[in-house]
Each structure stands twice: as C-alpha cells, then as structure tokens.
Structure 1
Amino acid sequence: MTYRAGWIHYTNVAPILDALVLPPGVTAVTGVPTEMNAALLGGRVDIANISAVEFIRHADRLEALPDFSVAVLGPVYSVNLFHTVPLERLRRVALTRQSAMSVALLRVLLRERGLTPTLEAAEGEAETLLAQGYDGVLRIGDSALREWYRLVGPLTPETTMTALPHVGRGVTVTDLAEEWFRLTGHPFTFAVWAYRRENPPPPELVRAMREARREGLGHLAGVAARHGQKLDLPARVVQHYLWNFRYHLEAPDRLGLSEFAALAEPGHAPLRFGPQPGAGRGTLAPSGAGP
C-alpha cells in the first residue's frame, strides 16, 4: 500500500527535502501550509510538515516525529509583519490565508501587547496592500523573505549578518519569531512532521529523511546558492537564513512549543511524539498538567 507524504517545500526546509530520495512505496505532493494541514487531517496524505498550531489543535489525533522541526531562536526573516505605523497604532492588518501558524502567532503577540487591530484576510504583496489602506500586512515564506530584502537591500559587504536592517522606504518589518523570543526567551517552532496516530510512517522513510537532512546541513552553502538563484537573492543572505533554523526538535524547541500551545490553545490535548531512535514513545503534557 502506498504511503503518501505532503511536503510544504519552502526554502526553509530545503536542507531536508532537497536531497530526499523517497523509498519504494512512498509518494509525495507539495502545497502551502493550509493545503497540507487540510490534506493530512482529511486523510489525503499520511504525513506532512504541518503548522505547529494545527498539530496542537488536533493533538487528540496526531503524533509527530520526535526529531524533526522547523524552529528558530530569534529572527526567522520569512514570517513578517510589514507596517507603516508603530505596532501600538495598528488599525487594519491584512492576513495571508496560507499559514494558520503565523496568524495564530500574530494573534498571541498582539494579545500579549494588549493590541486589538482589525484583522482581515487579504492576499497580495506587502507594499501593494499597504498602498490600498492597510497599515499592517502579514507575509510568510519565500515571498516574505524576498519582500523583506527588496525593502532593506541590497546588503553591502560591510553589513554584519547578525544585525540585519528592518526598515526601508517608510515600511518597518517586524519579525514575528524575534518578537516571540523577546516575549519568552524561547525558540519558536513553526512546523513539525506529523501523521495520524494509527498510521505512522515506514521506518525507511524516516531513515531517508534523516540521511537527507545530514546531506543538506553538510552542504548548506550549495543549498543556499541554488535557492538564492531561484529567489533572486544573494547566496550569503539565503545561507544566513538557513543556518538560523533548528531542524531537530530539541528540548528548548519543545519548551517553546509547549509555551505557545498554552497561550494559543489553552486546554489542548497532550502533544505526542514518536519514539526517538532506541527510545520509547514520548508525550508533552499541556502547560499546567502533571509531568
């Protein structure tokens, strides 16, 4: 029987997916986060790198691989709120339909600041929507990365990659992952590799994913050069973007995931993870629950 994978193949997962060779009996399709979330929950795919918030919301049905994530400690550069007024003066914010995760994170960050702007679904590039009357626009993924660089670039050889600009042409770019770090001091986990509990992935697929990740992280400059050409961005910018990511769902990433789950979906079911290689199954209890 064929095992079906659903990949959200943004640049941020290129170090895992670019070199992945699917084992016999496994097929794959690609789509944006909201499409793959729905495909997994609807049974059209068996595993997907879905938004962490959908994993949390459906924790009664889903389990995740224990050592795969898309997480960052600090800025992510591809989940951005573009705005023309200070955050405290936001009135209308355009939200992308492509990512439930980023919308949930924005809602948490606004609520923690005591802010209540009107949030409206609208698609389009940030500067276009800002010109149409929105004073904030949420953009994600490769498009957000390109639009950030279009505003703040080009970077000069003297630009330090640890203090990249975030203002250009009267637009401020607020990085939501960086705002999360300022709020909590924890990494933010955007995605996990989840599957329905009754249908875990074949071991051959998980081994292939681990091998592909080793290959991608071991040749990050090459990955960055290829994707820089696709995105029309300098390779050094894409390499900086990629080496920020945490792909192994380590203890700090789970801690940040637990804190976000408590803020975004209080009372959620325990988060469950498959066994680490050579270990038993693990459960991450909701905040406030027992050990």
Structure 2
Amino acid sequence: MSKPYRIGLIDFANVAPINEYLPESDQYEIHRGVPTEMNRQLLAGEIDLANISSFEFLQNADLLSALPDFSVSVLGPVYSVNLFHNMPWEALQGQKIALTTQSATSVKLLEVLLKLSGIEAVLERNEGTVQELLDAGYAGVLKIGDNALREWYQLCGPLEPYASVWDIPSGRGNIQVTDLSMRWYDHFGLPFAFAVWAYRTPPPPELVQNLRKARRTGLGELALVAERNARKLGLPEFIVQHYLWNFRYHLEKPDRSGLLKFAELVGVSGSSLRFSE
C-alpha cells in the first residue's frame, strides 16, 4: 500500500474556516503545527503540502510550487501581525526589537517596512509576553497569530460590537501597536499575502477539491467558526468574526500583485514562482 499524501495545517484561528471543514481521507493524512514547523517539515520532505509562510515559498522557488487559488492574504489591517512598541515608529532607529520565532514572513515584512522608513534596528529572536519583553529593555516586540490577536485586544479593547473601525485605538498608555499589514497597505495599496499552499509533490485531486469545498463551507459558516474560536481564544465572538472576515483565502490578481511586490522587495524574481494550473 502506498504512503498517504501528507498535508500540513497551521493551528491558528486565521485558517480555521478551511482547516475545520477539511475531511479526513485515506488519500491523505493531516499534520498540524505553527508556521515555522510547517516550513521546516515541508522543506525536509516530512510533509508534501502546507500553507506555509510566503517568504519561505519565495526563498525556495526552485523547490516548491503553489496551488493557484489559495492564500492567506489581507487588504488593510490584519490585527494579528503586530509590532508593539513603547516609542514612536520613527524613533526605533538603533533600538532593540524582539522577534517571534513562529513566522519567517512576518519578520521579513518587518525588515522591509523598517527599511522603507530608513530605520536600522537591532532585531533579536526572543519569546515572552509583550510587557515582559518591553520590561526587559526591548523597544518593540513582534507578535503574530492568536497570541498577537489576544495581546492586541488586551491593549485596544474592550470595543463596542458596532464601533467604526476608525474608532479602534492603536494602543494604550505608552504602548503603541503598528499593524504591519496596514502599514504595507499604506505604502503600496495592495493586499499582503502572508501564506500560500505550497507543495513539493503534486497533491491528489481529491485533496484539492476537498480544500476548495472546505473553504466554501467555512466561509459560509463564518459566524459558527468565529463562535468556536472565540471560546478557544477567550475573546468576544464579534472580534473573532471581524478578524476572520478580513482574510482573503483565494489568490486573486490583487493578492498575486502583492506577493510579486513582496518578492521584488526581498530580491526574488517573480518569473521564478510556479503555480499549478
């Protein structure tokens, strides 16, 4: 009997509308982890397909191909890729910034945005809560995923269910929050593609069809997905629903344009990227 195809899924709420509706099958087996784990396992051949960081896809364009119609992209604020800092963005020159170990793309995005502002900072890998790291002497802390969303809400909440997005505060006290996806949009007016579904070995047709069905079902039941994940995260349901409806799970022309702009900025030729048909 041949070995089942192996797919890696990231256990973050932002991909729950797809992950929670992907059925099991004897054609493939499901592995779960954080983005850096999925990146490593895919590149090591331990899994065959995963929704990996877009930067890892760009850096390994000679090895990987991507599904043509899947991404985790955002046009504007993402709320879960945040730099928490205790001084203005422009004052980060020469300061120490603590980086999450969970995502290569978000770290590279921060580097790109700092460079666009002419800022050279000292970037160090470190983990801990925002307050712990700021108290340890860092001027900024990069957080991603569910933890970033929770810490964002702790600083910016509580919020009214029907408040305008223009009324959402950007921090509290001396701590400011810079949403990196929003800062990207302010520079380029494009979505930012945080992840794509990349593979080393072409997936079985059944898996691709099941992923598309899962996406359609999950987006159609977004309120239920938000309710379940709000309980897991300890956040108000309306916050998680607002968070999830911000995502673009396809890879349409604007999303590809954003991905190609990111490729250009990190020195990768867009012509080297491969997408299955």
TM-score bucket of the superposed structures, by smaller chain: over 0.9
How far residue 269 of structure 1 moved from its aligned partner, in angstroms, is 6.0
Change in Cα spacing, 1:16 to 1:163, as seen in structure 2 (3 Å) is: farther
What TM-score comes out, normalization by structure 1 length?
0.91
Offset from partner CA, 1:75-101 (integer Å, 9 cap, x none): 000000000001111111000111000
Aligned equivalents of 1:234, 1:135: Cα separation in 2: 29
Q: In structure 1, list runs of 5 or more residues that go unmatched.
A: 276-291
Q: Counterpart of 2:24 in structure 1: which amino acid?
A: L
> Residue 218 of structure 2 corresponds to which residue in structure 1?
216
Q: Counterpart of 1:30 in structure 2: which amino acid?
A: R
Aligned 8 A contact 2:59 2:268 in 1? no
Please list, as runs of the form range in 1=range in 2, the aligned pairs for 1:184-203 lying within 5 A after superposition: 184-196=188-200, 199-203=201-205
Report whether the alignment pairs 1:132 with 2:136.
yes
How far residue 162 of structure 1 moved from its aligned partner, in angstroms, is 5.2
> Residue 144 of structure 1 corresponds to which residue in structure 2?
148
Please list, as runs of the form range in 1=range in 2, the aligned pairs for 1:1-291 lying within 5 A after superposition: 1=2, 2-90=4-92, 91-157=95-161, 159-161=163-165, 163-196=167-200, 199-267=201-269, 270-275=272-277
Aligned equivalents of 1:58, 1:268: Cα separation in 2: 12
How far residue 266 of structure 1 moved from its aligned partner, in angstroms, is 3.7
Q: Counterpart of 1:71 in structure 2: which amino acid?
A: S
How far residue 268 of structure 1 moved from its aligned partner, in angstroms, is 6.6
**1:49 aligns to what SS in structure 2?**
strand
Aligned 8 A contact 1:77 1:145 in 2? yes
Aligned equivalents of 2:268, 2:202: Cα separation in 1: 27
Select between 158-167 and 60-69 the one with higher mean Cα deviation. Answer: 158-167
Q: In structure 2, list runs of 5 or more residues that go unmatched.
A: none
Offset from partner CA, 1:105-141 (integer Å, 9 cap, x none): 0000001110001111101111110111101000000
Offset from partner CA, 1:159-200 (integer Å, 9 cap, x none): 22454221113210100000000011100000000001xx10
> Residue 284 of structure 1 corresponds to which residue in structure 2?
none
**1:4 aligns to what SS in structure 2?**
strand
Aligned equivalents of 1:158, 1:104: Cα separation in 2: 34
What TM-score comes out, normalization by structure 2 length?
0.96
Aligned equivalents of 1:223, 1:148: Cα separation in 2: 20
Q: Percent identity?
A: 56
- Give the count of matched residue pairs: 273
**1:67 aligns to what SS in structure 2?**
strand
Offset from partner CA, 1:32-71 (integer Å, 9 cap, x none): 1111101000000000000000000000111000111000
Aligned equivalents of 1:168, 1:22: Cα separation in 2: 44
How far residue 104 of structure 1 moved from its aligned partner, in angstroms, is 0.4
Aligned equivalents of 2:162, 2:49: Cα separation in 1: 43
**1:201 aligns to what SS in structure 2?**
coil
Change in Cα spacing, 1:25 to 1:181, as seen in structure 2 (3 Å) is: same
Aligned 8 A contact 2:71 2:194 in 1? yes
Aligned equivalents of 2:35, 2:161: Cα separation in 1: 35
